[in-house]
Amino acid sequence: MKSTDRRQFLKIAGSSLGIGVLYTAYPAARTRGEAAGLFSALGRANGEKLAPFSFVQLSDAHVGFNGPPDPLGTKAFEHAVEMINALPQRPDLVLFTGDLTHDTEDREVHVERMKQFQEISKRIHVPVIRHVAGEHDAGLDQGALYREFFGDSYYSFDHRGVHFVALDNVSRAKPEVGSEQREWLNKDLARFPKTAPIVVFTHRPLFDLRPEWEWFTSDGDDVMNLLSPYDNVTVLYGHIHRDHEHQIGPVHHYAARSLIFAFPDPTGVAGPRKPVPFDKDHPFRNLGIRRVSFNGKPQPGSQSISIDDIELTAREFRGINGVQQLLRNPDV
């Protein structure tokens, strides 16, 4: 692992292959003394004591979707809940980066999908769960139903010295944050010093990843201009149904794959966007979780991060014998 610039507060290693991402936050310092000094300085500047912690990002559950290219419905989402609850160290929080549900013009059906999402997510044994909307949650009604269930579509909060910002780039029925929300963001950030660790979570990428596939935010550059003066910014997003990493100046962007099906690598595919086909012989291919741990004692020349990649297989589903049972009765 290459040495890390001490100004990069969030140490993020890898991404989930379909289930989610476990992030560990800590100051990237080269010695224990340097780490302690950075903790202290950031704590004084931000008004809250800084401490290591972990959190999980989940994305694109699409509750209510069932059929090609994936007939397994909520099975991956439900198993993600089990895997989070089984982690040896409980994460502090879970962030859902949009498309919690699959859209429908039937409001009552969408209400039931929102309720089903909540019923599954409330099984997660973490103190804090936060959400942002995806276009499937909010695009048809400008976020009205989403707000009934989850509250404001954009907001911020602080946790252990880190400032979290939830941005809505879907409720305007187009890939846009909008001037009102950008003004709010500017005011929200104004009280923080440039050294403050900031995590932004949103649904669509804030840069032009693949505009013809709607993998972009039209005013993403304006948002990035507000974030770029800060030294320690991480942006988490979903929407693209695959792992992706990108860096713009000091800002690092990370996407989690979905809990339903994958899209192909945008750099290697020409033409229209098409989901990766479902493989009945390997129904959970590219699904899994990456578990990331921080030992709390960064030392010169030592490995402070340990990573375990866990591939999801049919055998891991409790009480299920074989894939065919899942395929035969996917809603149970």
| CA dist., res. 316 & res. 311, Å (int) | 10
Question: Which tokens is 263 given?
Answer: 């899209």
CA atoms within 13 A on the CB side of 303: 7
pLDDT for the residue 312: 55
pLDDT for the residue 196: 83
Could you list the residue range(s) of the whole structural domain that residue 115 is in? 10-328
| CA dist., res. 34 & res. 27, Å (int) | 9
pLDDT for the residue 80: 82
3 occurs within a structural domain: no
Q: What are the per-10-residue average pLDDT scores of the chain (332 residues)?
A: 40 43 60 50 59 83 90 85 84 91 97 98 94 96 97 94 92 94 97 88 96 94 95 88 85 85 82 82 60 37 37 47 36 34
4 occurs within a structural domain: no
Q: Which of 72, 54, 85, 88 is nearest to 18 (CA)?
A: 72
Q: How many domains does one find in the chain?
A: 1
120 occurs within a structural domain: yes
305 occurs within a structural domain: yes
The CATH number linked to 127 is 3.60.21.10
Answer whether 80's CB lies under 8 Å from 317's CB: no
- Could you tell me where the beta strands, DSSP code E, fall in the chain? 10-11, 20-25, 53-58, 93-97, 128-132, 155-159, 162-166, 197-201, 232-237, 244-248, 251-255, 288-294, 305-311
228 occurs within a structural domain: yes
Chain centroid to CA 32: 30
Q: What is the DSSP letter of 303?
A: -
288 occurs within a structural domain: yes
5 occurs within a structural domain: no
1 occurs within a structural domain: no
pTM: 0.81
CA-based Rg of the chain, rounded to a whole angstrom?
20
Please classify residue 222 by burial: count the beta carbons closer than 10 Å to its beta carbon, then call 0-12 exposed, 13-18 middle and 19+ buried.
Answer: middle
Amino acid at 206: L
